[in-house]
Homo-oligomer: A and B are copies of this chain.
Amino acid sequence: MKDIEFREMGLRVMEATPAAYFTNVDEEGFPQTRAMFNLRNKEKWPKLAPLFVDHDDDFMIIFSTNTTSTKVEQMKENPKVSVYYCQPEEWKGMMLSGVIEIVSDLSLKKSLWHDGWEKYYPKGYDDPDHTVLRLFPTAAKGWNQSRTFQFMIEATK
């Protein structure tokens, strides 16, 4: 497989999984992983597909989460994170790492919003407890059966 084929396989995995496994490092140095909604999954989040149209080259990742969550507190101290996408039955996976940022842009929060999210953020998209995280990864690793690949990602912003 050529580099471009690995990238395309990685993008397909990113778009196929229901969850993204998001990991930060806590104050004691232990990695902390949890499943998050994979907003790049077009089948589950079709309304959001346009947000990612121009980001196949920079692999941009976005999460919505609670401002009061432990991970947000920890990420303020240590923003080095990774996000892993996996199709375990096919042994395909893609891991992206970089420095995450907290985005305060209300228009982005609004464009992410879905009916029903009131159960997470009762006051709506501008609920102070609604935090948007954005990652422009700088490195990627992937697995396709027994093959592995890795590449750096150029900043496009």
A18-B89, A88-B19 known; A24+B31 contact, CB < 8 A: yes
Q: Tell me whether A21 is interfacial, beta carbon within 8 Å.
A: yes
Q: Indicate if the CB atoms of B88 and A31 lie closer than 8 Å.
A: no
Q: Nearest 9 CB-CB pairs, A to B?
A: A19-B88, A33-B84, A23-B31, A31-B31, A31-B82, A30-B97, A18-B88, A29-B80, A30-B80
A60 to B23, CA, bound (A): 21
Residues of chain B within 8 A (CB-CB) of A86 are 19, 21, 35
Residues of chain B within 8 A (CB-CB) of A151 are none
Name which residue of chain B comes closest to A89, CB basis.
Answer: B18
A91 to B91, CA, bound (A): 20
Q: Tell me whether A25 is interfacial, beta carbon within 8 Å.
A: yes
Q: Indicate if the CB atoms of A34 and B93 lie closer than 8 Å.
A: yes
Name which residue of chain B comes closest to A29, CB basis.
Answer: B80
From 88 to 110 in chain A, residues with beta carbon under 8 angstroms from any chain B beta carbon are: 88-89, 91, 93, 95, 97-98
Q: Indicate if the CB atoms of B143 and A30 lie closer than 8 Å.
A: no
From 103 to 125 in chain A, residues with beta carbon under 8 angstroms from any chain B beta carbon are: 119
Question: Chain B's nearest CB lies how many Å from the CB of A58?
Answer: 17
Name which residue of chain B comes closest to A26, CB basis.
Answer: B97
The residue from B19, B31, B141, B146 contacting A80, defined by CB atoms under 8 A apart: B31
